[in-house]
Amino acid sequence: MTVLPPVHAPRQWRPTPLLQATFALHVGALGLLALQPGLWPWSLGALAANHLSLTAVGLWPRSRGLGPNWVRLPPTAAAGQIAITIDDGPDPEVTPAVLDLLDHCDARANFFCIGAMAQRYPELCRDIVRRGHAVENHSQHHYHHFAILGPRRMAREIATGQDSLVAVTGQRPCFFRPTAGLRSPFLEPILARQGLYLASWTRRGYDTRNRDADDVVRRLTTDLAAGDILLLHDGNAARTAAGQPVILAALPRVLDRAAAKGLNTITLRSTLDRPPL
């Protein structure tokens, strides 16, 4: 299989104001301990408060406190466009039906695939690309504790996922989404070295646990507007009371409502010739 060249070279990592303040606080706390050892409770308290703030920001998937984060399409690409993102696949039962729905609506989507699942179902992952969609990186194993991995193991999860998806599809991912969108300060430097962008979402339907397709549609389409990035799941999909994967019940209605508003679906990577957020 021919492997496509990288779309983007490694990016330069720039610490955010929050991280710059964190570095300064740690240096200051060490200096204070050296000059006034008796003030160690104050130093420890300041560091603990700082780490709590970092944790809170990492638990907020749409925050930009730890680095760049695509929660919407870039303004230059957002006129009349939205992005559908689909996580946790490929799934041998659900993904083919999702692809058929997208074909029927002439829609494009972004599949954030797990590397190990792509290796298990390579032809299905290749079919995603053949039908005009984008395959992006959702890590190699989708560990639920991804956000608390150390930097070396986190980098290995991302790099292995990247290699797996390239080997299976020939398409080099441009975006990364961590498990549940949770992350730590280690993530952005790793993504910058890989030339990857962090992609979050504007709105989500919670369709891995929400069995009510009507509620999922409501969450995704209320005040739906150009530039929105929507999150659904083909892997780990919840089931309706009738046993249907929620995405299959919700996606056609989401696409119909988008079309009624004159909105088209695009891949995230198609916007990369424009400045990212």
pLDDT tens across 170-192, in order? 999 999 999 999 999 999 999 99
pLDDT bin (cut points 50, 70, 90) of residue 8 is low
pLDDT tens across 10-61, in order? 888 888 888 887 777 777 667 766 777 776 676 677 778 877 887 888 888 9
Dihedral sign (CA 164, 167, 170, 172): positive
Give yes or no for residue 261 having a pLDDT over 60: yes
Give yes or no for residue 275 having a pLDDT over 60: no
Dihedral sign (CA 80, 265, 267, 115): positive
Tell me how far apart the alpha carbons of residues 83 and 85 are, in angstroms, rounded to a whole number: 6
Percent of the chain with pLDDT over 90: 74
Give yes or no for residue 273 having a pLDDT over 90: no
Burial class (CB in 10 A: 0-12, 13-18, 19+), 106: exposed
pLDDT of residue 33: 65
DSSP of 9-58:
PPPPP---HHHHHHHHHHHHHHHHHHH-GGGHHHHHHHHHHHHHHHHHHH
CATH number of 75-271: 3.20.20.370
Question: Are the CB atoms for 58 and 182 separated by under 8 Å?
Answer: yes
Domain range list for the chain: 17-58, 75-271
pLDDT tens across 73-101, in order? 998 777 899 999 999 999 999 999 999 99
Length of the chain: 277
Give yes or no for residue 69 having a pLDDT over 90: yes
Tell me how far apart the alpha carbons of residues 200 and 185 are, in angstroms, rounded to a whole number: 16
What residues have CB less than 8 Å from 270, skipping those under 6 apart?
Answer: 77
Tell me how far apart the alpha carbons of residues 35 and 112 are, in angstroms, rounded to a whole number: 50
Give mean pLDDT, residues 227-246: 97
Give yes or no for residue 1 having a pLDDT over 50: no
What residues have CB less than 8 Å from 7, skipping those under 6 apart?
Answer: 172, 174, 195, 269, 272
pTM attached to this predicted model: 0.89
